[in-house]
Chains A and B, each alone.
Chain A
Amino acid sequence: MINTQDILETISMIRSEHLDIRTVTMGISLLDCARSDINESCRKIYDKIAFRAEKLVKTSDDIAKEYGVPIINKRIAVTPIAMLAAASGGDPVKYALALENAAQQVGVNFIGGYSALVQKGFAGGDEELIRSIPEALAVTEHICSSVNIGSTKAGINMDAVKLMGDIVKQTAHATADRDCIGAAKLVVFCNAPDDNPFMAGAFHGAGEPDCVINVGVSGPGVVKAALEKIPEGDITDVADTIKKTAFKITRVGQLAAYEAAKRLGVPFGIVDLSLAPTPAVGDSVARILEEIGLENCGAHGTTAALALLNDAVKKGGTMASSHVGGLSGAFIPVTEDEGMIAAASAGHLCIEKLEAMTAVCSVGLDMIVVPGDTSPEVISGVIADEAAIGLINYKTTAVRLIPAIGKRVGDTLNFGGLLGGGPVMRLNESSPAKFINRGGRLPAPLQSLRN
């Protein structure tokens, strides 16, 4: 029989340390749904999603019960809708409504892919889709949107950076009566991965199979609990403990992904080796950093501790899964992490420090509430800075800012659920307008002489 201690450890991880599978995400290609008539395209999309994902929720729930591990979210990622809009023309919001209907029909939590990939420039459909994002996110509930504005190979599309500053602001305005939640479902990427199971940035890349299952795991509480057992350990012990814990967490994700793929008759794609926090106490990445030895998340030393954490998670997780992908790393979304909220509220964590942290972890400036009167150019400046970190370091970076319309530094927003809530954080208001308004393309960087 299996070792008693191992059994009790697993039970304790699930019951008291919030071990769960954060998401089972089905990626569905919609390329074969593209028609020249937008209404027909929408019908095809609805039919395909309703058929492919019919059993996604039920199967995931069955697996969760059988194995005793909660599966929190069931989601769908689809082909970037800009590609379909290119073929059909017309108002892209029709696609958003078709996706919303499909999401409600199959009962998923979110559907991602109201997206455009414009790192090198705008193709047909791209700009129309981007300009429709504020309305699309205001009239739907389950849609998530993302725009890739840069990549290490293509450089940064500064026209798109400028446009997205505006779009983020408009999206917040369009949902101002609902705590600006639209902006919480819009992410601006550099080096966006094709197989990311996490929202708001999930979409189904053009090189992916017709249908695939990707899984994102979680478990910051488990890592913290493991570190609590070695208060006197040196940093090597800390790294080893995180690696071993990440291995165990990821094995659970691999098992669920394999089972879900088998039962749904769909290929298994990847496991995303993530430490995804929630606003619940005991499920925080910030608290891991504090357990490593920082008085508060945001103190000097935070970037180094996070680099160690992120690297150890990947090392442990890679061994545990046959295919790894997506974002893979520790997430630092401010409003979704109880410890980050506390650190930001107490003034220990500022945006500049978060920006430094994003250079060493997944994913970027995530779920940060900023003053409602922030100008679009300042938002574009934040996007450009963050994209530059991804561009130079050959990694995914992203920006998900929520301008809190009508609110100022010190006020709070509250989305509820996994999206959490948090304080409005201070941004440097000095204007980058001239830089942003120049437009053009920031060239792709040199890949040698890497200092």
Chain B
Amino acid sequence: MRAVITVVGKDMVGILARVSAFCAENNVNIIEVTQSILQDMFCMIMLVDTRECTREFTDFADLLAKLGEENGLVISAMHEEIFNTMHRI
């Protein structure tokens, strides 16, 4: 399956590196990344492929959220389908 990872928080050095390193550790392939900085808030959205993920997706999402908390960021990983369902007919 494909999932969307969103990262929101105060901008600082190494956010992209930390999140992508975590994806790599879990064999999650990053397909696409967009990021923007509004005032000093960092906002990154990643589309990833979790088919080869070495963990259960729910564990992966939990650990990612925890990684966010440790760094003062709000990180979520959600199944791509929820966005498609909500915004496309």
Residues of chain A having any CB pair with chain B under 8 Å: 1-4, 6-11, 15, 62, 65-69, 248, 251-252, 254-255, 319
Contacts and interface: CB of A to CB of B under 8 A. Distances in A.
A254 B86 CA distance: 10
Given A1-B47, A15-B74, A65-B62, A10 B79 contact: no
A67 B78 CA distance: 5
Interface string B50-83: 0000000110011000000000001011111111
Given A68-B82, A69-B82, A251-B85, A7 B6 contact: yes
A11 B45 CA distance: 11
Given A6-B87, A7-B6, A66-B57, A255 B62 contact: no
Given A62-B58, A67-B82, A8 B76 contact: no
A15 B43 CA distance: 15
Contacts of A8: 6, 43, 45
Q: Which of A62, A66, A69 has the most CB atoms of chain B within a 10 A radius of its CB? A: A66
B61 A65 contact: yes
17 contacts: A1-B47, A2-B47, A2-B83, A4-B34, A6-B83, A11-B76, A62-B58, A65-B57, A66-B57, A66-B58, A66-B78, A68-B82, A69-B82, A248-B86, A251-B85, A252-B85, A319-B89
A324 to B, nearest CB: 16
B28 interface: no
A248 B58 contact: no
B84 interface: yes
B58 A65 contact: yes
Contact of A7 (B45, B57, B61): B45
A17 to B, nearest CB: 13
A372 B34 CA distance: 60
Contacts of A6: 83, 86-87
A4 B77 CA distance: 15
Contact of A10 (B58, B62, B82, B89): B82
A251 B31 CA distance: 26
A62 B84 CA distance: 19
Q: Which of B47, B84, B86 has the most CB atoms of chain A within a 10 A radius of its CB? A: B86
A69 B86 CA distance: 12
Contacts of A15: 74
A1 B58 CA distance: 22
Given A2-B84, A7-B4, A67-B78, 19 more contacts: A2-B87, A3-B87, A4-B36, A4-B45, A6-B86, A7-B6, A8-B43, A9-B87, A10-B86, A10-B87, A65-B58, A66-B61, A67-B81, A68-B79, A69-B82, A251-B85, A252-B86, A255-B81, A255-B82
Contact of A255 (B31, B43, B74, B85): B85
Interface in B1-42: 4, 6, 8, 31-32, 34, 36
A67 B76 CA distance: 10
A446 B29 CA distance: 65
A1 to B, nearest CB: 5
Contacts of B61: 65-66, 68
Contact of A66 (B43, B47, B79, B89): B79
A132 B80 CA distance: 49
Nearest to A250: B86
